[in-house]
């Protein structure tokens, strides 16, 4: 099928109608609000959400075990991150003690991966080995 070609006048008229329709829609919109294309609005929303602190916290928790590495994975379980405080569970007191001394390096690695300071403090708690295995 061949596409009908428009004369320059018809193309100009179509463009003019489009512009006038857009201006009318803008005029009819609420004062102070502008009409935006849906794809532009979605892109802006994604950028806003992806940059939010909660999104970065959730992403950090999801990749926590990849970030800290295999040796610690067997000894640490993540509870949550809230207002810059990361809550971790460890099965035994000696591990808690060791991780307490490693907390600054842990925070540096986590924040470096996140690209900004997300974790400002780490809180460790201890419970029995059986309950730790249930959480894994």
Place 128 in a pLDDT band, splitting at 50, 70 and 90: low
Residue 12 has pLDDT above 80, yes or no: no
Higher pLDDT, 43 or 1: 43
- Per-residue pLDDT tens for 111-126? 888 888 888 999 988 8
**Which CATH code fits 53-135?**
3.30.300.180
Lowest mean pLDDT among 30-34, 45-49, 94-98: 30-34
Global pTM?
Answer: 0.57
- Per-residue pLDDT tens for 20-29? 877 777 676 6
Angstrom distance (rounded) from CA 34 to CA 31: 8
CA pseudo-torsion sign 24, 30, 31, 37: negative
| Domain residue spans of the chain | 8-49, 53-135
Cα–Cα distances (Å) from 28 to 15, 31, 35, 74, 104, in that order, read 20, 8, 10, 61, 56
DSSP structure class, residue 120 = S
């Amino acid at each position: 099928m061949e596409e009908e070609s428009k004369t320059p006048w018809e193309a100009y008229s179509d463009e003019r109608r489009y512009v006038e329709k857009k201006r009318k829609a803008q005029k009819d919109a609420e004062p102070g609000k502008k009409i935006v294309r849906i794809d532009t609005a979605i892109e802006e929303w994604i950028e806003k959400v992806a940059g939010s602190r909660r999104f970065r916290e959730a992403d950090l928790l999801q990749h926590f075990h990849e970030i800290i590495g295999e040796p610690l994975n067997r000894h640490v379980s993540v509870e949550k991150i809230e207002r810059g405080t990361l809550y971790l569970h460890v099965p035994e007191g000696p591990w808690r003690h060791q991780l307490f001394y490693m907390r600054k390096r842990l925070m540096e690695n986590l924040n470096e991966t996140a690209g900004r300071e997300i974790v400002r403090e780490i809180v460790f708690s201890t419970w029995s080995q059986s309950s730790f295995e249930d959480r894994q």
